[in-house]
């Protein structure tokens, strides 16, 4: 029950499991945001904006090759990401400290809205906590993207309300 | 990467798998909403409100023993739920057509905000699509709850923007 008859987002990168090999799985989330791609792009790369929908702070502007420190004041937690690739208004790829690769893609439509797609890769299929990790990860991305939509479309701040 | 060092929401109802027995797993999602419990409760049971954050329509007011038809105009999809239990301003339990049981609990805090908890049970552990179902289900509940927060706190409508 939630959205009946709609195929799910979880995809294996490789279908066949080979014994003793680590097989990577990914988590893909997509949302439509009623703003042009450049506004969605700037929300991520401009450290003045991230506190309105995701982390509480970002150490500097996201640019290719930089290491950025992201901080959650609410959870007294922080982590570094390395920006691997940036294509202005269309793509950002970064790696987190656990080695996951996150790819954010933006596709602007004719009506000046944008489909944003976030794909996280690098989960290991033989990890005993795989299901937990994937579900927790999905929760995070859906929440962030909905907060981003609220921020860009209406200027509202919905972040830091997930209860664990 | 998303919220580091925070335990995940996925819980098995029974830890030990017994061969050839169906073991039920559940999906739990919690969010803080800055409104009193009666306003959160009314958002679900009043058919005038549901279209602002979840389905496009609900056939009538949710009351114990009723069968309610929920419709998503955007996806041309609909389904019936049976309302099993209602405790005003604190709990709603319903069953969907696939036999899943959904429990919505509301706990109001001293500051007149509410912790809402949604728990869906009835996934079968031996289902080959279990991981997909759990991830897809988690996506739906997080999205609905964030839309609910946006609607109740700011009067904004963020629904029907997940892209599949």
* pLDDT, tens only, A19-30: 334 456 889 999
Q: Are B118 and B44 in contact (CB under 8 A)?
A: no
Domain ranges of chain B: 23-154
Q: Are B91 and B104 in contact (CB under 8 A)?
A: yes
State pLDDT tens for residues B72-100.
998 899 999 999 999 999 999 999 999 99
Q: What pTM did the predictor assign?
A: 0.87
Task: Specify the DSSP class assigned to residue A8.
Answer: -
Mean pLDDT of A135-150: 97
**Residue A156 in this model has a pLDDT that exceeds 90:** yes
d(CA B125, CA A59): 43
Residue of A1, A129, A162 lying closest to B31 (CB–CB): A162
Contacts of B81 in chain A (CB under 8 A): 1
Confidence at residue A7, expressed as pLDDT on a 0 to 100 scale: 33
Residue of B10, B72, B96 lying closest to A132 (CB–CB): B10
d(CA A140, CA A160): 11
Q: Which CATH class is domain B23-154?
A: alpha beta
> Is the ipTM beyond the 0.90 threshold?
no
Choose the mutation target among A137, A146, A163 for the interface with B, i.e. most B CBs under 10 Å: A146
Contacts of A29 in chain B (CB under 8 A): 139
Size of interface A-B (CB pairs under 8 A): 166
């Amino acid at each position: 029950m939630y959205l009946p008859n709609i195929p799910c987002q979880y995809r294996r990168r490789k279908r066949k499991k080979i014994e003793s090999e680590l097989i990577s799985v990914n988590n893909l989330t997509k949302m439509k945001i009623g703003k042009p791609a450049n506004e969605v792009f700037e929300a991520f790369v401009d450290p003045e904006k991230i506190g309105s929908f995701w982390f509480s702070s970002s150490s500097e502007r996201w640019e290719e090759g930089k290491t950025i420190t992201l901080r959650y004041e609410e959870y007294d937690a922080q982590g570094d990401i390395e920006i691997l690739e940036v294509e202005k208004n269309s793509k950002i790829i970064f790696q987190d400290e656990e080695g996951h690769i996150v790819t954010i893609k933006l596709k602007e439509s004719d009506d000046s809205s944008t489909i944003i797609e976030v794909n996280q890769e690098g989960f290991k299929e033989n990890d005993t906590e795989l299901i937990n990790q994937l579900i927790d990860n999905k929760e995070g991305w859906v929440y962030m993207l909905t907060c981003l939509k609220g921020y860009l479309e209406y200027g509202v701040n919905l972040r830091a309300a997930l209860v664990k």
